[in-house]
């Protein structure tokens, strides 16, 4: 509760500073505010509470994932000063909308009622439609926002329809109420209920960018301003996966058999298609888009491997994935700034001109590929373990195949940076930017070597 209040307040304050034309104060305020919100969130640890007639459930799952979301946003905002340097127009709207989107994401991790879930998703989505188009002069940004808005609002309709059908069948919006209904009618659920559940899955699958609902993702990612793409690829994805995990674990636990196959197929398709298509991408940003699609598949693997350990595995995975992705996007910001594009050739020979940046991107790629002892490996390891414990041998084999394929595109930037001759592009990053990159890199090592800092929390 304090999380949502403090974040909303922060957003309003940022807008206020915009009115007062105190541009230099904005970013420091946001960073401090996010850290405060993070601290407030963590102070809710182990104080499981229900609020507003179970509209919100602040349990440890909610606290942990909210913390991941706020932390990821903090990490992204650390790039903002560099990204928007030289931009003359006021930025308070973009910053405030990002924070409001974060509020939506936090709601998605702590909802106790499907209406609240819908409000969370809409808060997040509407903010994102605006953010995707925030680079008004660029045609690609306009394309991205239009595509995202049209598809997104359509799929929100699916979601709402699903919620309505579930309500129609069970007579309740609250997770608890629906759970009671499921327990009572476990064997013969009405078709309307199942249709609702299916629509709910489709709606969320779109937000997570799960195959076959992923077609928007590469285009939207490519057109959206890079800083905000990082936000989409990490915060939005984590929040949506957690939203899905939450209603499966709270409510639909009893009918595991009903949704298991659906999620199984979605996960397998996402891992395979995401990775295969990733191989053929011409530039870093689209490659990261497909990488993020395939990682949604891995996260679904955790959801379908339904065990008490799933929450832990998902927590570590989303954290490691977010940190590595944000790091990669940080370099991407520099590459685009230096070359105006982000084709792999723009990375050629960067290792010689910018050894630190090249090293950081290498670590990010290796972590995403899941190479020990980096964080990404521990994330994947716990996912696979959880899944194998549940006997999902074939899905794990598919996931492993996907990992092997993913090497071929995660290595493209590394090959370009270390093995190709430089074509003149030198990245310009200031000391704070570089320090942040190194911080993220160290974080990847830290989480890989000491995963127990995170694992076992839930």
Partner 1 sequence: MLTLILILLPLAFSLILPVLKGEKEIRIVALTGTVAEFGVAMAALIQYVTSCHCQLMFTADWLATLGVGLTFSMDGISLPLVLLTVFLLPVIVLFSFSHHYRRPAAFYSLVLLMEMALIGVFTAADGLMFYIFWELTLIPAWFICAVWGGNDRIRITFKFFIYTFAGSLLMLLALIYIYFRTPLPHSFDFRVLYIAVLSPAEQTWLFLAFFLAFAIKIPIFPFHTWQPETYTEAPAEGSMLLAGIMLKMGIYGLIRLLIPICHLAFQQWGEIVMILSITGIVYASLIAIRQEDMKQLVAYSSIAHVGLIAAGVFALNLHGLQGSVIQMLSHGINIVGIFIIIDLIQQRTGSRNIADLGGIARKAPRLAVFFMIILLASIALPLTNGFVGEFLLLLGVFEYNHLYAAAAGLTIIFSAVYMMWMYQRVMFGDTTPMTEHITDLNNREMAALIPLVAVIFWIGVAPGFFMDIIWPDAVRVLALFNM
What is the size of the binding site for partner 1 (CB under 8 A)? 26
Judged by CB under 8 A, the chain residues 67 through 106 that form the site for partner 1 are none
How far apart, in whole angstroms, are the C-alpha atoms of residue 427 and residue 322? 23
Cβ–Cβ < 8 Å for 330, 433 = yes
How far apart, in whole angstroms, are the C-alpha atoms of residue 143 and residue 161? 27
The tokens describing 273, both together, are: 């298609």
Does 366 contact partner 1 by CB under 8 A?
A: yes
Q: Which stretch binds partner 1 (CB under 8 A): 173-181, 237-245, 297-305, 394-402?
A: 394-402
Element (H, E) at 56: strand 56-58
The tokens describing 53, both together, are: 């007639």
Cβ–Cβ < 8 Å for 203, 120 = no
Minimum CB distance to partner 1 smaller for 186 or for 373:
373
The residue from 258, 372, 422, 457 that contacts partner 1 (CB under 8 A) is 372
What's the min distance (Å) between Cβ of 274 and partner 1?
17
Q: Which stretch binds partner 1 (CB under 8 A): 6-14, 246-254, 285-293, 397-405?
A: 397-405
How far apart, in whole angstroms, are the C-alpha atoms of residue 275 and residue 160? 31
Q: Which stretch binds partner 1 (CB under 8 A): 128-136, 200-208, 336-344, 389-397?
A: 389-397
Minimum CB distance to partner 1 smaller for 48 or for 404:
404
Cβ–Cβ < 8 Å for 401, 272 = yes
The residue from 407, 438, 446, 457 that contacts partner 1 (CB under 8 A) is 407
| x-marked contacts with partner 1 along 419-438 as a string, rule CB under 8 A | x-------------------
Does 203 contact partner 1 by CB under 8 A?
A: no
The tokens describing 441, both together, are: 């890199």
What's the min distance (Å) between Cβ of 383 and partner 1?
11
Cβ–Cβ < 8 Å for 428, 362 = no
How far apart, in whole angstroms, are the C-alpha atoms of residue 316 and residue 64? 10
What's the min distance (Å) between Cβ of 415 and partner 1?
6
Question: Residue 136: phi, psi to the nearest 5?
Answer: -65, -30
The residue from 397, 435, 442, 453 that contacts partner 1 (CB under 8 A) is 397
Paired strand residues for 56: 51, 111
Query: Which alpha helices (DSSP H) does 284-374 contain, by range?
Result: 284-304, 310-339, 350-353, 355-369
Paired strand residues for 111: 56
The residue from 384, 441, 447, 454 that contacts partner 1 (CB under 8 A) is 384
Q: 285: closest CA among 233, 235, 216?
A: 233
Cα angle: 264, vertex 266, 269; to 5 degrees:
105
The residue from 418, 426, 438, 457 that contacts partner 1 (CB under 8 A) is 418
Minimum CB distance to partner 1 smaller for 199 or for 358:
358
The tokens describing 6, both together, are: 């403090």
What's the min distance (Å) between Cβ of 60 and partner 1?
17
Collapse the DSSP code of 113 into the 3-class scheme (helix H, G, I; strand E, B; otherwise coil) and give the result: strand
| x-marked contacts with partner 1 along 318-357 as a string, rule CB under 8 A | ----------------------------------------
Q: Which stretch binds partner 1 (CB under 8 A): 188-196, 209-217, 275-283, 393-401?
A: 393-401
Does 453 contact partner 1 by CB under 8 A?
A: no
Minimum CB distance to partner 1 smaller for 101 or for 319:
319
Question: Residue 50: phi, psi to the nearest 5?
Answer: -110, 140
- Which positions lie near partner 1, rule CB under 8 A? 366, 371-373, 377, 381, 384-385, 388-389, 393, 396-397, 400, 403-404, 407-408, 411, 415, 418-419, 451-452, 455-456
């Amino acid at each position: 509760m304090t999380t949502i209040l403090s974040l909303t307040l922060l957003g309003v304050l940022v807008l206020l500073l915009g009115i007062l034309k105190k541009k230099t104060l904005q970013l420091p305020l946001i960073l401090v505010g996010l850290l405060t919100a993070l601290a407030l969130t963590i102070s809710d640890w182990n104080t499981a509470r229900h609020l507003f007639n179970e509209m919100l459930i602040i349990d440890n799952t909610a606290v942990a994932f909210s913390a991941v979301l706020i932390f990821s946003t903090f990490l992204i905002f650390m790039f903002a000063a560099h990204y928007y340097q030289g931009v003359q127009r006021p930025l308070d709207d973009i910053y405030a909308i990002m924070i409001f989107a974060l509020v939506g994401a936090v709601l998605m991790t702590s909802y106790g009622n499907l209406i609240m879930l819908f409000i969370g998703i809409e808060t997040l989505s509407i903010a994102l439609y605006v953010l995707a188009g925030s680079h008004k002069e660029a045609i690609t940004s306009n394309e991205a926002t239009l595509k995202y808005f049209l598809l997104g609002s359509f799929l929100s309709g699916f979601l709402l329809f699903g919620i309505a059908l579930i309500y129609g069948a069970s007579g309740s919006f609250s997770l608890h109420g629906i759970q009671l209904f499921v327990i009572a009618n476990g064997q013969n659920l009405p078709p309307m209920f199942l249709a609702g559940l299916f629509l709910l899955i489709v709606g969320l699958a779109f937000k997570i960018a799960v195959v076959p609902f992923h077609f928007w993702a590469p285009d939207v990612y490519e057109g959206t301003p890079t800083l905000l793409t990082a936000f989409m690829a990490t915060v939005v994805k984590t929040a949506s996966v957690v939203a899905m995990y939450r209603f499966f674990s709270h409510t639909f636990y009893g009918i595991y058999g009903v949704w298991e196959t659906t999620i199984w197929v979605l996960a397998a398709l996402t891992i395979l298609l995401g990775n295969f298509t990733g191989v053929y991408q011409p530039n870093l940003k689209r490659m990261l888009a497909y990488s993020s699609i395939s990682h949604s598949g891995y996260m679904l693997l955790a959801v379908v491997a339904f065990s008490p350990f799933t929450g832990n595995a998902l927590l570590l995975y989303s954290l490691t994935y977010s940190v590595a992705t944000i790091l990669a996007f940080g370099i991407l910001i520099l590459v685009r700034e230096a070359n105006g594009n982000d084709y792999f050739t723009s990375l050629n020979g960067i290792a010689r001109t910018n050894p630190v940046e090249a090293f950081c991107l290498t670590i990010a790629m290796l972590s995403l590929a899941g190479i020990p002892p980096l964080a990404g490996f521990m994330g994947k390891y716990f996912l696979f373990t959880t899944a194998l414990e549940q006997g999902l041998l074939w899905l794990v084999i598919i996931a492993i195949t996907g990992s092997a394929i993913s090497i071929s595109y995660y290595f493209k930037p590394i090959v370009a940076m270390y093995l190709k001759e430089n074509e003149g592009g030198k990245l310009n990053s200031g000391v704070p930017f570089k320090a942040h990159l190194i911080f993220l890199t160290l974080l990847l090592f830290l989480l890989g070597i000491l995963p127990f800092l995170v694992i076992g929390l839930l």
